[in-house]
Structure 1
C-alpha cells in the first residue's frame, strides 16, 4: 500500500463555477436555503465533486491494491462508503465523483487549496482545525482507545499504563497529543508514516501499543488477524472523536446540504448497515443514533 504524503490531486481543469451555474442539488439546498454571500463558491455548484479520503486505515479508508488512484471504485471502507452516500444524496452520480488520497497532515491544505471539495477520512472536529476549515456533521462519534498485541507483554490495561511505553505517533493525527499532552501520560513517541505502518511496528515489537480512534484500531486488528498476528482492544476509551466532513469555512450552503445528507443516511439505516458491515465482526460497541451536529455558521 502506498502512503500518500502530499496533498490530494484535484482533477485537471476543475474550477469553481460562476453564480449563474446550474445547481446540482436543488432539493437538498432548498432545505437549507439561508446561504451566504459567497454561495456561488459552494461545492454544490461543482461539475465534479472532489473528495479526499484516507488510504491506510483498514475498515475506514483504504486504497484497493492494484487499483488506479482517483477512480470511484479504487477505495473501500466505512468512510469511503459515507463519502459515496453523501455525494449521492447531494445529487452527484458516481461518474461525477472523484476520490483522491489525502494524508492526515495534509487535510486542511487539500481543502484550502481547492484540490478537494470535501474530506471524509476519520477527520475529528477540533477547535484548532475549525479555525482553518469548516465541518459538516459529525457523521459518527468514535472514541480513542488502545490496541496491543494479544499477549499484551507490556501489561497495558488502561490509559495510565502507557506511561513510559512506546506509543505510535502519526503526522497530522491528534491521537498521541491527546495521550501525552491532554492526559499528561508520558508515553514515548515512535513515529510512523500512517496507522498501517503503526500496525507493522506493533507486530514487529517496535511498539508497545497504538492509541487512536476505536474504529481505526478495530480495522487494524482485523487486518492483522488475516495474517495470524492477533491484536486486541484494551476497551478503555478516554475521548470522543467527532468525525466531521471537512469543507471550506464559508460554504454554509454546502455544509447544510451535507448535514441533510447525513441525517437521511441515519433515517434510512445506511449508517447502521455500513457500521455492521465493516466493524460488526470485531465486537466493537457501535453507536447508531445520529450525533449532534456542529452547526454550519
Structure 2
C-alpha cells in the first residue's frame, strides 16, 4: 500500500516537472516566461548593429529588428537582443536560441540550405573606404600597388586580391578598427568590406571628416532576416512587416539616421523575394 502511494507521488512530480519544462523552457527565441522575443544582431558594427558602452543598441539592423518585433506583437520591453557573430548565426537559429537574426546577413544558397530568410530588406555592395583627402583611388584597379586592409578571413579582401586587383598589397588585421587606424596613419591606403559597414565606421563622431567611401559596387549583398527552416508562418509575418516598414517611410528614415552621416547612398528598398 505504501509502495503504491510512493509510486503515485513520483508520477505526479514527474508530470508536474514535464509541464513546467514545456511552459518555462520553451525555445524558439522566447524568454522563460514565454512573452519575450530574442533577436540576434551584431554588436560591433556601427551604423548597422552596435552595443554601445552604456548598453544601448543602435543601427539600421536594430531599427529593422525592433520594427518587425513590434509588428509581431512585442513591445519594446519584451525585446531581448543577443549577439550573433557571423559564424554562429545558423546555429543560433537552428538551436532556437533566437527567434530570428537581423545582422548584415547576406542571403545565399549555402545559408538557405540551413535556414530560411525573409526579405531582403536591404541591398548592400562591397566598397572601399579611403582617406577623405585621397583622390588617387577612384576605381578598384587603382588598388594595384596600393596597400589594402581588411579583417582576417574576409571574403571581400580575397575577392579584390584574386579577381579585381591582383597586384594589391593585401594586409589582414584582427578587426576593422585596426584597419581604420592604419588608414588614418597612412600605413594602408584603403579598407574593403560591405559599404554599409564602412559607412557606419565613417559616420562615427570620432571618424567624421576623416574618411570617404569610393562609391563602388563590387558585389551584391542582399541582407535578409534569418529564421528557422520551415517556419513559413513567421516568414510571411516578417515579410509583411518589412513591406509595411518600406511603405510608411520608416525604412527610409532608418537609413538616413544610421548611414546618412557618412553620405552613404543606399539603393532603394529591394523587392521581397524570399517567400514560401
How far did 1:75 drift? Answer: 0.7
Instruction: Give the one of 79, 97, 107 matched to 1:97.
Output: 79
> Scaled by the length of structure 2, what TM-score is found?
0.79
Q: Against the structure 1 CA distance between its residues 80 and 164, is the aligned structure 2 distance closer, same or farther, given a 3 Å change threshold?
A: same
Once residues 137 and 152 of structure 2 are traced to their aligned partners in structure 1, the CA distance between those partners, rounded to angstroms, is 24
Task: Tell me if the contact between 2:161 and 2:170 (Cα under 8 Å) persists in the aligned partners.
Answer: no
Once residues 178 and 89 of structure 2 are traced to their aligned partners in structure 1, the CA distance between those partners, rounded to angstroms, is 19
Q: Against the structure 1 CA distance between its residues 201 and 246, is the aligned structure 2 distance closer, same or farther, given a 3 Å change threshold?
A: farther
Name the counterpart of 1:247. Answer: 227
Name the SS for the 1:50 alignment partner. strand
Name the counterpart of 1:259. Answer: 239
Task: Tell me if the contact between 1:105 and 1:172 (Cα under 8 Å) persists in the aligned partners.
Answer: no
Q: Against the structure 1 CA distance between its residues 179 and 251, is the aligned structure 2 distance closer, same or farther, given a 3 Å change threshold?
A: farther
How far did 1:276 drift? Answer: 1.4
Task: Tell me if the contact between 2:116 and 2:230 (Cα under 8 Å) persists in the aligned partners.
Answer: yes
Name the SS for the 1:265 alignment partner. helix
* In the alignment, structure 1 residue 296 sits paired with structure 2 residue 275: yes
Once residues 222 and 55 of structure 1 are traced to their aligned partners in structure 2, the CA distance between those partners, rounded to angstroms, is 16
How far did 1:14 drift? Answer: 4.8
Once residues 109 and 188 of structure 1 are traced to their aligned partners in structure 2, the CA distance between those partners, rounded to angstroms, is 35
RMSD across aligned positions (CA) = 2.7
How far did 1:49 drift? Answer: 1.5
Instruction: Give the one of 285, 289, 292 matched to 2:265.
Output: 285
Task: Tell me if the contact between 1:106 and 1:172 (Cα under 8 Å) persists in the aligned partners.
Answer: no
Once residues 296 and 194 of structure 1 are traced to their aligned partners in structure 2, the CA distance between those partners, rounded to angstroms, is 35
Q: Against the structure 1 CA distance between its residues 167 and 141, is the aligned structure 2 distance closer, same or farther, given a 3 Å change threshold?
A: same
How far did 1:243 drift? Answer: 1.0
Q: Against the structure 1 CA distance between its residues 169 and 282, is the aligned structure 2 distance closer, same or farther, given a 3 Å change threshold?
A: closer
Instruction: Give unpaired runs (5+ residues) of structure 1.
Output: 1-12, 18-40, 68-73
**Residues 207-254 of structure 1 deviation map (CA, whole Å, 9 limit, x = unaligned):** 32111222221121122x635761111122222211111112221111
Name the counterpart of 2:5. Answer: none
**Which is richer in helix?**
2
Task: Tell me if the contact between 2:46 and 2:59 (Cα under 8 Å) persists in the aligned partners.
Answer: yes
Once residues 196 and 219 of structure 2 are traced to their aligned partners in structure 1, the CA distance between those partners, rounded to angstroms, is 13
Aligned length: 251
* In the alignment, structure 1 residue 207 sits paired with structure 2 residue 172: no
